[in-house]
Amino acid sequence: MAAEVRPVGNPPLPPPILERGVIGWMHANLFSTWFSGALTAVSCLVIGAAAIFGINWILFNADWSVIATLGGQLVIGQYNTELACPGQNCFWRPQVSVLLVTLILGMMWGLAGGGLPKRMGIAVAVILSAFALLPYSFERMGMDVRLLLGANIPALGIGWAIARYTPLGTSRNVALSAVVVFVAILLLVRGGPAIPGLEPVSVRHWGGLMLNLILAVGGIAFSFPIGIALALGRRSSLPVVKLLCVVFIEVFRGVPLITLLFMSQVLVPLAFPENFPQNSLFRAAIVITLFSSAYMAENIRGGLQALHPGQAEAARALGLPSWQTMLFISLPQAIRNVIPAIVGQFIALFKDTSLVYIIGMLDVVEISRAFIQGNPEYLASTKELFLFLGLVFWVFTYSMSYVSRRVEENLGVGRR
C-alpha cells in the first residue's frame, strides 16, 4: 500500500479581515475609496438625524386622534349613514364582502399549496381580524362588527378546505369563483333591485377605500384583456382594424384622465334621454378602464416587438396557424417580458382612482379632505391624516410590487 502523502509546509492563511464577513462587505461596498467613505458617513448622519426627529415627532408630537375620529369613514365613507341607509344597518355588507375576498384568498392558498398565496392570505386575514381589537367603545364599534372582522381567519381556513377537499380546487374553478365573488360584492353593496329585501344604497354614497378598491379591481380585471386586444389590433394587417386601434390608443393616451372623467359626467348624459338612469360609478369605471387599456396596449405591443422573429417562424414551420402562434407562443412570452411595466400600470391605475373626486365621488382622499375642511379644529392634524393615507396607498402599491417580483422569480424572468 502506498504511503499517505502529506502536504509540506504551513496550511494556507485565511483571507485578510478586510475581505471577509461584515467588515469585508462594508469595506467593499461602503468604504472602498475615500469618496465612498465620506458619502457613507454623510448619508448616515442625514438618515440618523431624520430618523431621530421623525420618530420623536411620530411618538410625542403628532396628534393621531383625527384618524380615530374618522374611523370607518376612511373605509366605507358615507355608506352606513342615515341618509344612505335608513336605520344604519348596512354596516355588515362591506364586512361580508371582505369575508368573501378572504375566502377566495384561502382557495388560492389551497390551490397553490403554500408560497406567496399562503403568505398573502394569512397576512390579510390576520390584519383584518386584528381590527376587531381596536380600542373603540361598544357604541362606536359593536360586538357584531368585531365578530365579522374576527371571522376572517375562519373564512381563510374554509377557503383552503374548499380548494383542498372539493372539486372546486382547480385553477379554472378558483378563477371563476373570483369573478362570481366580485359580482356578488357589487350586488350586495348595491342592494335594492339587485338583491330583493336589502335596502338599496345609491352609488353616490359609496366612498372611502372601498370605492378605490372597487374601481381598481374592476379596472385591472378589464383593462388587461382590452389592452391585449388593442395591442394585437394595432399589429394587425387589416387597415381598418389597425386604424381604429391606433386612434383609440393615441386619443386616450393624449388626454388627461381628469379631463376624461369630467367629460364622462358632463357630455355623456347629453347623448341620452333625461329619464335615462345615470350611474356615476359605472361611467367612472368605464373611463378609468379604457384609459388604462390604452397604456396597457402599448406595454403589450412593446413585449411583442421584443420577441425574436424566429419564434413565429419556428411555429409556422411546425404547421401552427397564426392565431395559435400568437396565443400559445408569442403572447405568453411577451407578457412575461413586460411584467414590470404591466404591474406599474396597475399601480398607476390604483392611484388614479383618487381622481374621481372631480365628479363628486368621495374616495378615501376626498373624504379626508372634506372632513378637515368641515372641522377646523382638526386643521392642525392635516399632515398626520395625509401621511396615514400615504402609508395606506404605499402598502397596497408595495404589495403589488412584491407580488410582481415573486412572479418574475417563479417565471425566471432575466434568466435563461
Closest Cα to residue 304, out of 381, 227, 195?
Answer: 227
Q: Is 3 a residue whose pLDDT tops 60?
A: no
Cα torsion 56, 58, 60, 63: sign: positive
Q: Are 356 and 363 in contact (CB under 8 A)?
A: yes
Q: Measure CA of the first residue to CA of the last residue in the chain; give whole Å.
A: 49
358, 258 contact by CB (below 8 A): yes
Give me the chain's average pLDDT, please: 88
pLDDT at 255 over 70: yes
Tell me if 280 sits within 8 A of 361, measured CB to CB: yes
Query: What is the full DSSP assignment across 101-127?
Result: HHHHHHHHHHHHTSSHHHHHHHHHHHH
Distance from C-alpha of 45 to C-alpha of 386, rounded to nearest angstrom: 27
Element (H, E) at 49: helix 34-56
Q: Helix count (H) and strand count (E) of the chain?
A: 19, 2
The 10s digit of each residue's pLDDT in 26-73 is 877 888 888 988 999 999 999 999 999 999 999 888 989 999 899 889
For 196, 202, 238, 286, the CA distances from 187, given in Å and listed in that order, are 10, 12, 40, 18
pLDDT at 89: 86
For residue 112, the Cα-to-chain-centroid distance in whole angstroms is 20
Q: What is the C-alpha separation between 204 and 298, in angstroms, rounded?
A: 34
Q: Which of 361, 299, 359, 369 is nearest to 334 (CA)?
A: 299
| 100 vs 189: CA distance, rounded Å | 13
**Percent of the chain's residues with pLDDT above 90:** 57
What distance in Å separates the CA atoms of residue 180 and residue 163, rounded to the nearest whole number? 16
pLDDT digits (tens, 9 = 90+) for 369-380: 999 999 999 999
- What is the identity of the amino acid at 164? R
Give pLDDT, residue 299.
Answer: 94
**Helix (H), strand (E) at residue 223:** helix 208-234
Residues in the chain: 416
Q: Is the pLDDT of residue 191 over 70?
A: yes
Burial class (CB in 10 A: 0-12, 13-18, 19+), 415: exposed
Give the pLDDT confidence of 213-243 residue by residue, as tens digits.
Answer: 999 999 999 999 999 999 999 998 899 999 9
The region of weakest confidence among 90-94, 194-198, 276-280 is 276-280
Cα torsion 337, 340, 346, 348 to 10°: value is: -130
**pLDDT category of residue 394 using cuts at 50, 70 and 90:** very high
Q: What is the pLDDT of residue 98?
A: 95
Grouping H, G, I as helix, E, B as strand and the rest as coil, residue 350 is helix
What is the predicted pLDDT for the residue at 142?
Answer: 87
Q: What is the pLDDT of residue 272?
A: 67
Q: Which three cell numbers stand for residue 201?
A: 344604497
> Using 50, 70 and 90 to split pLDDT, how confident is the model at 139?
confident
Say whether pLDDT at 290 is over 60: yes
C-alpha cell at 83: 341618509
Q: Does the CA dihedral 309-312-316-321 come out positive or negative?
A: negative
Q: How far apart are the C-alpha atoms of 305 and 213, rounded to whole Å? A: 33
Q: Sign of the C-alpha dihedral, residues 244, 224, 187, 142?
A: negative
- One-letter amino acid at 398 equals Y
Q: Which value, in Å, is the radius of gyration of the alpha carbons in the chain?
A: 27
Give me the amino acid identity at 105: L
The per-residue pLDDT for 249 is: 95
Give the per-residue pLDDT at 264.
84
The CATH 1.10.3720.10 portion of the chain extends over: 204-270+277-416
- Return d(Cα 28, Cα 24) in angstroms, integer: 6
Confidence category of residue 115, pLDDT binned at 50, 70, 90: confident
pTM of the predicted structure, to 2 decimals: 0.88
Q: What is the CATH number of domain 204-270+277-416?
A: 1.10.3720.10
